[in-house]
Amino acid sequence: MDISADAVKKLREKTGVGLMDCKEALKNSNGDMDKAVDFLREKGLAKLQKRMGRVASEGSVASYIHTGGKVGTMVEINCETDFVAKTDQFQNFVKDVAMQITASNPLYVKREDIPAEHVEREKTIYRNQALESGKPEKIVDKIAEGKLEKFYQEVCLVEQTFIKNPDMTIKDLLEDLLVKTGEKIVINRFVRFQLGETTQD
């Protein structure tokens, strides 16, 4: 099918991907804009898997202080080049992540960061709750696994729903940026301060 230059231009503005790739994506998806975006994401992420071993030593440290100065966050996000680190799309992503952490208070960046004993403790609690509520033994583990997934969505930054767009997670946001920049990008670490909180030794 013929793809109009206007459609190619719109897809490029939406994704930041090159014109030829946009045209290929629209042809592949019969002109469907949403499917073309998905096609580009899948293609871009497949390419990026090969680059994940590269070092991401550039990037940015950003802070976000909520109005009133009662809660704030500092976050470090890394990329491969100083060029990408200085782009508006990277800087906006860093700011959005800092705001997300301030608002949603995750405990970890990703589920792999959670200590195994913490996961086991949560799973035991969920199993016991299911048993005490009279659920059959054979489905208790399945119920516990389901609750564990919800736990991950609450405490892991990348699995949280993005506060500016409830149709996306932080992982979706990160993957969009990976495709647009073509670089390895890593949310490295963060710290969140809330006025009056005490630290535990």
Tell me the CATH number at 121: 1.10.286.20
Among 76-85, 127-136, 157-166, the range scoring the smallest mean pLDDT is: 127-136
Instruction: Decide: 190 and 74 in contact? Cβ < 8 Å.
Output: yes
Query: How large is the average pLDDT for residues 57-76?
Result: 90
Query: Is residue 101 in a domain?
Result: yes
Mean predicted lDDT score pLDDT of the chain: 86
Q: State phi, psi for 7 to the nearest 5 degrees.
A: -65, -40
Q: pLDDT band at 111, cuts 50/70/90?
A: very high
Q: Could you tell me if 172 and 188 lie in one domain?
A: yes
- The pTM assigned to this predicted structure is 0.69
Q: Could you tell me if 139 and 42 lie in one domain?
A: no
Query: Is residue 77 in a domain?
Result: yes
Residue 50 predicted with pLDDT over 60: no
Instruction: Report CA Rg, the chain.
Output: 21
Q: pLDDT band at 201, cuts 50/70/90?
A: very low
Q: Could you tell me if 106 and 160 lie in one domain?
A: yes
| Containing structural domain, residue 188 | 58-110+156-194
Q: Strand 71-79's sheet: what is its strand order?
A: 58-65, 71-79, 186-194
Residue 51 predicted with pLDDT over 60: no
Q: Could you tell me if 45 and 126 lie in one domain?
A: no
pLDDT digits (tens, 9 = 90+) for 120-133: 999 999 988 888 88
Q: How many domains does the chain have?
A: 3
Nearest alpha carbon to residue 73 among 176, 159, 191, 198: 191
Tell me the CATH number at 187: 3.30.479.20
Query: Is residue 104 in a domain?
Result: yes
Query: Is residue 200 in a domain?
Result: no
Q: Could you tell me if 68 and 104 lie in one domain?
A: yes
Residue 166 predicted with pLDDT over 60: yes
Residue 60 predicted with pLDDT over 60: yes
Query: How large is the average pLDDT for residues 136-162?
Result: 92
